[in-house]
Amino acid sequence: MSLITKKTTGNHLHFIRFLYLIKPLNLYHKHHFTLPSENPNLHDVNDPLLTKPPSSLSLGKPHFVVPTNNMIPTQPSSRRSQSLYPHDDFVSSNKMITYYIRIADLDSARKVFENMTVKTTVTWNSILAGYSRKPWKLKEARELFDKIPEPDVVSFNTLLACYINNSDIKTAWNFFHKIPVKDFASWNTMISGLSRNGQMNEALELFSIMPEKNSVSWSAMISGYVEANDLDSAVDFFNKAPIKSVVAWTAMITGYMKSRKIELAENLFQEMPVRNLVSWNSMISGYVECGRSEDGVKLFRRMVGLGIRPNERSLSSVLVGCSNLSALGLGKQIHQFVCKSPLYFDTSVLTSFLSMYCKCGDLGNAQKLFHGIRQKDIVTWNAMISGYAQHGLGERAIGFFHEIKNQGVRPDWITFVALLSACNHAGLVNLGIKHFESMKRDYGIEAIPDHYTCMVDLLGRAGFLQKAVDLISGMPYKPHPAIFGTLLGACRIHKNLELAEFAAQKLLDLDPNSAAGYVQLANVYADMKRWDQVARVRQLMKEHKVVKTPGYSWIEVKNVVHEFRSGDGFHPDLELIHAKLYELEKKMKLAGFVPNLEFVLHDVGMEQKEMILLRHSEKLAVAFGLITTAKRAEIRVFKNLRICGDCHNAIKYISVIEEREIFVRDTVRFHHFRNGTCSCGDYW
């Protein structure tokens, strides 16, 4: 495979454990969010997270506000204002305003308000609260506030919050100082506003002169420091806080996760006296973002097992986790589980599922879901366009781009990343350039590094290496390391040693520990049989203590994820897999397959090279899929690096010999092998 593959013993058992984690999800069908029973197999008995009794867990807030009788008048009709009992009218009108504001129907609330003959400050405050919650209603809120005959501290606090919600911190600050009598809420609102806005010095100033502090004040400071990535100050405040609310504990968990101090986050999660849904979500998303998707998924299962209802945030995190693990089976089970809940009508939840299906290689289900989403927002469209791009369906992605314009949806920068990568994977160079140019001109979207990386890839792969270099030099900001990595990849395809050395040098200047940089450069030298240079790069890597990410592939069979590494000697079915590969090798050679020894970079003999190729992780995974799944069943294999050229060619032959459709997702895209060809058209 590659020159510096580090032989590791693999963490296969780790994945086998995942089996037990995945399987029992199909227990969920009876109830929306509660498991009928806890399966003892699911949990690690020694796991400290389990030792807390479920009663200590507070349930998350219900996702929807269900109006109750004391909130809604039994007949919300303005005719009731003609009642013979003026006090009843007053009470019911106030209730109606509160109700309409809760359901975010500001116009109806305003109508009731205007028709009221008697208004108290409470009435004024209710309607003001409605305006302060909506964005862009600052002017109306201010006008209302000015009309309140006797504003009280609640009126002041409500308008203060309105300034802050509209990010007008400066006016908020001036207004705060004019509040005649300040209560806890006034101080806390201002401190939170400053800290959410990253103005920690000002927040601290206010905090220190605040006459009396409560847990909200402490939490605001801790959250602010976490947000500002000042973990030390957050820890300091957390330790000093006399009362630690669940918000403070959760903010600290988020802070530790952001700094990748997973163990410290776990300790806090274990120690905290009360957890809410936000705390669980913080742990789950923390795991997923720190590359520990398995743990994230596990914790999600545990949360659901305890009867805690997930919200859209929990689902979005766990589905990203499923996508990272390519655990389609698990993703489907979560889909079934959520199907009957009200969450299922939420566009963002459906989009998370859509994205998961795309990333796990099930484009069919993704499309079905897409057509069923009634209110598609730009995120939904982006997910589908990216899905098509990843699967190499460039034309369809571009068609969808025109469709969103017809629907009057405004594309954003992510749409263009998806669109440019669609052009890239389909080799549509001119169209890509056209869209890149129109992005700023016609849509006012500034190009960010991701767009430039797409363009360098597009130009580079198509062989316009010099144009790619020119584009990098014309960038309005300092090039990022990834862009040179991309250029380096293109130089390898086109065997341009001079530019490859240039790109590698730039990449290693910016990121001296870039394993990818060294490996790619070694690859280029090896392609040209410059073994002395390969050795030199190897030596450099040793000197810089660079560790290459070992390549591995995995496949989910009957809800178990099996992982393979190149030259794996670990899997229990290895003998069967090797036998299958030998059998395939014979058939492939008869069909005209010639192994491409270029992809073996070790300076070894021919026979040995063929042997090494035969044991590449993606081939092992495909062979395992062939022997363990039903005839003609589709095979989905995932790889943590780019698929190798020889394996790509071999799998084309295998798809004919075995009459199978085989999907391989690598770091860049999906390859869909069928009848001896690949959906990428050998352009990747």
Which pair of structure tokens corresponds to residue 434? 């056209």
Q: In what order do the strands lie in the sheet with 560-565?
A: 560-565, 552-557, 635-639, 662-665, 670-674, 677-678
d(CA 616, CA 263): 34
Tell me the window of 156-164, 349-357, 405-413, 641-649 that interacts with Zn ion (CB under 5 A): 641-649
Minimum CB distance to Zn ion smaller for 391 or for 671: 671
Q: Which SS3 state, helix, strand or coil, does residue 678 take?
A: strand
Closest C-alpha among 135, 138, 133, 137 to residue 100: 133
Minimum CB distance to Zn ion smaller for 160 or for 644: 644
User: Phi/psi zone of residue 311: left (φ > 0), alpha (ψ -120 to 50 degrees), beta?
Assistant: beta
Tell me the window of 122-130, 394-402, 589-597, 669-677 that interacts with Zn ion (CB under 5 A): 669-677
Minimum CB distance to Zn ion smaller for 303 or for 680: 680
Closest C-alpha among 579, 539, 551, 558 to residue 638: 551
What is the Cα Rg of the chain in Å?
30
Beta-strand relationship, 560-565 and 552-557: antiparallel
646 binds Zn ion (CB under 5 A): yes
Tell me the window of 124-132, 402-410, 474-482, 639-647 that interacts with Zn ion (CB under 5 A): 639-647
Tell me the window of 50-58, 131-139, 183-191, 644-652 that interacts with Zn ion (CB under 5 A): 644-652
Q: How far is the CB of 390 from Zn ion (least distance, A)?
A: 12
Tell me the window of 284-292, 296-304, 455-463, 673-681 that interacts with Zn ion (CB under 5 A): 673-681
Q: How far is the CB of 642 from Zn ion (least distance, A)?
A: 10
Tell me the window of 104-112, 397-405, 422-430, 666-674 that interacts with Zn ion (CB under 5 A): 666-674
Minimum CB distance to Zn ion smaller for 416 or for 554: 554
Among residues 306, 459, 644, 654, the one that binds Zn ion under rule CB under 5 A? 644
Minimum CB distance to Zn ion smaller for 218 or for 684: 684
338, with CB counted inside 10 A (0-12, 13-18, 19+), is buried
Q: How far is the CB of 677 from Zn ion (least distance, A)?
A: 9
Q: Which SS3 state, helix, strand or coil, does residue 193 take?
A: helix
Contact string 583-622 vs Zn ion (x = CB under 5 A): ---------------------------------x------
Among residues 251, 516, 647, 662, the one that binds Zn ion under rule CB under 5 A? 647
Please write down the HEC assignment for all residues of 99-166.
Answer: HHHHCCCHHHHHHHHHHCCCCCHHHHHHHHHHHHHCCCCHHHHHHHHHHCCCCCHHHHHHHHHHHHHC
Q: How far is the CB of 1 from Zn ion (least distance, A)?
A: 6
Task: Return the half-sphere exposure (C-beta side, CA atoms, 13 A cut-off) of residue 443.
Answer: 19
Q: Which SS3 state, helix, strand or coil, does residue 291 take?
A: coil
Minimum CB distance to Zn ion smaller for 401 or for 599: 599
Tell me the window of 76-84, 355-363, 653-661, 668-676 that interacts with Zn ion (CB under 5 A): 668-676
DSSP state of 57: B
Minimum CB distance to Zn ion smaller for 22 or for 519: 519
Q: How far is the CB of 614 from Zn ion (least distance, A)?
A: 9
Q: How far is the CB of 534 from Zn ion (least distance, A)?
A: 18
Place of tokens 């409500």: 158
Task: Return the half-sphere exposure (C-beta side, CA atoms, 13 A cut-off) of residue 604.
Answer: 15
Write the CB contacts of 448 (distance below 8 Å, at least 6 apart in sequence).
413
* Count of positions (residues) in the chain: 684
CA 648 from centroid of its chain's CA atoms? 28
Tell me the window of 46-54, 551-559, 582-590, 638-646 that interacts with Zn ion (CB under 5 A): 638-646
Q: How far is the CB of 425 from Zn ion (least distance, A)?
A: 10
Task: Return the half-sphere exposure (C-beta side, CA atoms, 13 A cut-off) of residue 105.
Answer: 11
Minimum CB distance to Zn ion smaller for 141 or for 577: 577
Q: How far is the CB of 595 from Zn ion (least distance, A)?
A: 10
Place of tokens 């890149």: 436
Place of tokens 């040793």: 542
Among residues 391, 396, 615, 671, the one that binds Zn ion under rule CB under 5 A? 671
Minimum CB distance to Zn ion smaller for 35 or for 644: 644
**E strands, 584-681, where?**
635-639, 662-665, 670-674, 677-678
Tell me the window of 107-115, 381-389, 543-551, 637-645 that interacts with Zn ion (CB under 5 A): 637-645
Minimum CB distance to Zn ion smaller for 10 or for 595: 595
**E strands, 386-465, where?**
none
Element (H, E) at 95: helix 86-102
Q: How far is the CB of 417 from Zn ion (least distance, A)?
A: 21
Minimum CB distance to Zn ion smaller for 416 or for 564: 564
Minimum CB distance to Zn ion smaller for 331 or for 595: 595
**Is the distance from CB of 15 to CB of 322 less than 8 angstroms?**
no
Minimum CB distance to Zn ion smaller for 358 or for 678: 678
Q: How far is the CB of 399 from Zn ion (least distance, A)?
A: 22
Closest C-alpha among 641, 580, 638, 644 to residue 15: 638
Tell me the window of 51-59, 102-110, 159-167, 676-684 that interacts with Zn ion (CB under 5 A): 676-684
In the region spanning residues 170 to 229, those forming contacts with Zn ion, defined by CB under 5 A, are none
Q: How far is the CB of 284 from Zn ion (least distance, A)?
A: 34
Q: How far is the CB of 647 from Zn ion (least distance, A)?
A: 3
Minimum CB distance to Zn ion smaller for 487 or for 620: 620
Minimum CB distance to Zn ion smaller for 196 or for 671: 671
Amino acid at 453: T
Q: How far is the CB of 682 from Zn ion (least distance, A)?
A: 6
Q: How far is the CB of 585 from Zn ion (least distance, A)?
A: 13
**Site size toward Zn ion, by CB under 5 A:** 7
Q: How far is the CB of 671 from Zn ion (least distance, A)?
A: 3
d(CA 418, CA 424): 10
Tell me the window of 63-71, 81-89, 519-527, 645-653 that interacts with Zn ion (CB under 5 A): 645-653
Q: How far is the CB of 628 from Zn ion (least distance, A)?
A: 21
Helices (H) and strands (E) in the chain, counts: 33, 6
Write the CB contacts of 385 (distance below 8 Å, at least 6 apart in sequence).
397, 400, 401, 415, 418, 419, 422
d(CA 224, CA 204): 10
Minimum CB distance to Zn ion smaller for 116 or for 644: 644
Write out the residues near Zn ion by the rule CB under 5 A. 616, 644, 646-647, 671, 678, 680
